[in-house]
Amino acid sequence: MAQEDLFKKLVAHCKEYGYVFQSSEIYDGLGAVYDYGQNGVELKNNIKKYWWDSMVLLHENVVGIDSAIFMHPTIWKASGHVDAFNDPLIDNKDSKKRYRADVLIEEQLAKIEDKINKEVEKAAKRFGDAFDEKQFRETNARVLENQQKWDALHNRFAKALNDGNLDELRQIIVDEEIVCPISGTRNWTEVRQFNLMFSTEMGSTADGALKVYLRPETAQGIFVNYLNVQKTGRMKLPFGIAQIGKAFRNEIVARQFIFRMREFEQMEMQFFVKPGTELDWFEKWKTTRMNWHKALGFGDENYRFHVHEKLAHYANAAVDVEYKFPFGFKEVEGIHSRTDFDLSQHEKYSGKKIRYFDPELNESYVPFVVETSIGVDRMFLQVLSAAYCEEQLENDTRVVLKIPPVLAPVKLAVLPLVKKDGLPEIARRIIDDLKFEFNCQYDEKDSIGKRYRRQDAIGTPFCVTVDNQTLEDNSVTIRYRDSMEQERVAISQLSSIIGQQVSYKNLFAKI
């Protein structure tokens, strides 16, 4: 199936099975804002737990906070967001549609990359086992020609971004003959900067209301609490502060479902270190975070690091963890070495000393920071993109979400084979017993086959069926979602069989 079709099906599936709904749907929706349904919220909570515990439980020197969404407006001046949290926008004069200039160019780069990959795929099929991809990429004329095009465009683009040269960004769009997908024309305006922060007012206007912002990242709530946590927690460098919370950005190009939203959630961790050690910590966190992703078992080949073309002026290293979504490799997480920029800025703007007294050196300094920052919603989309499968069976097809059991919203469904002979009562007793450990669902409607399909579609890893043999020997069948195999087990074994499979501890052992 074409990847685009697959993505459309996934979006429809999310709605049909209570994962994600368009926000304010009965009022025709609100652009790039989404609500999570009964299954979505469970998956989201499980993702957050996986992240939170991997940070806070597994690292003695990482603690969590929960800071407010509203913060003093000067924080956003200090952080640079008021002056520089901008996207370069360009309008098509015919369709009146607005685009991010950098995204248009990135898409052009992706098209060239696609051409190269298709060439490689074709050759791989042609040559079979004898295919040497490296050699092919280094020698095939068409691949080389496209690679040269890609390199030239990439270098020009990186330079324009680094120089903040908006005219050059426009010129690239013109030279590359990029057309508006709606009007099909090249009738472009100039490129302009657009600030992404939402603002509102605090207090009544009669008192002189204060203009405040909805935070565009959770990280600043961590920076401004650095001293509070360091002092009250008697934290010694290196140490980290983790936070999960909502962030808001007035994204202009809000596309690809929950990939880019206007209201979303972030899981961020700022790791404070001694200056000069930050690049070692950057490497360490890169490895730890990549292991966290790969431990979910979606295939190591689907992840890669993308080194930033343009380093923000405060960063001395930055990479993204990218996942191969149905629409290509895209960022899921950013890992940045942010130097002492943020804390120094807050020192400057607040007039308060934000330092660490290093007992070994007997001196105070502003710590450096390594940040890991991942979007909950984007991680959610990553999990579902990887999990969604359509399988052809002997006489049937099934749609199944192969979500890792530990993250699955419902862990087990308990199904009485028939609605009589005391089977429903036994099924209820099993749920009453297991509901303290696992999210369970009871289902007695329709044939057992239909019930299995319903559970496959929401990604329930285990279906437990109560039948007449249960009345005789207290055994049930347990059906495994991915293999569809069934085995007969004692009711008393369920807790340990399922517990083993949905254990965070087992997952953490892989990080």
Residue nearer to ligand GAP on the CB measure, 21 or 136 = 21
**Burial level of 162, CB count in 10 A (0-12/13-18/19+)?**
exposed
Residue nearer to ligand GAP on the CB measure, 170 or 378 = 378
Residue nearer to ligand GAP on the CB measure, 176 or 333 = 333
Cα(365)–Cα(368) distance, integer angstroms: 9
**Burial level of 286, CB count in 10 A (0-12/13-18/19+)?**
middle
Q: Closest separation between CB of residue 305 and ligand GAP, Å?
A: 13
Q: Nearest residue to ligand GAP, using CB?
A: 375
Residue nearer to ligand GAP on the CB measure, 136 or 327 = 327
**Burial level of 273, CB count in 10 A (0-12/13-18/19+)?**
buried
Q: Closest separation between CB of residue 117 and ligand GAP, Å?
A: 24
CA atoms within 13 A on the CB side of 238: 21
Q: Closest separation between CB of residue 254 and ligand GAP, Å?
A: 7
- Whether the CB-CB separation of 292 and 54 falls below 8 Å is answered with yes
Which of 410, 310, 364, 325 shows the shortest CA–CA distance to 42?
410
Cα(108)–Cα(150) distance, integer angstroms: 9
Q: Closest separation between CB of residue 165 and ligand GAP, Å?
A: 22
For 339, list phi and psi in degrees, rounded to 5. 50, -145
Cα(217)–Cα(249) distance, integer angstroms: 9
Q: Closest separation between CB of residue 466 and ligand GAP, Å?
A: 42
Q: Closest separation between CB of residue 407 and ligand GAP, Å?
A: 17
Residue nearer to ligand GAP on the CB measure, 384 or 415 = 384
For ligand GAP, the binding residues (CB under 6 A) are 217, 219, 249, 251, 260-261, 264, 266, 268, 331-334, 371, 373-375, 377-378
Residue nearer to ligand GAP on the CB measure, 267 or 494 = 267
Residue nearer to ligand GAP on the CB measure, 219 or 430 = 219
- Whether the CB-CB separation of 428 and 442 falls below 8 Å is answered with yes
Residue nearer to ligand GAP on the CB measure, 333 or 443 = 333
For 493, list phi and psi in degrees, rounded to 5. -90, -15
Which of 286, 313, 504, 284 shows the shortest CA–CA distance to 374?
286
Q: Closest separation between CB of residue 261 and ligand GAP, Å?
A: 4
Q: Closest separation between CB of residue 230 and ligand GAP, Å?
A: 20
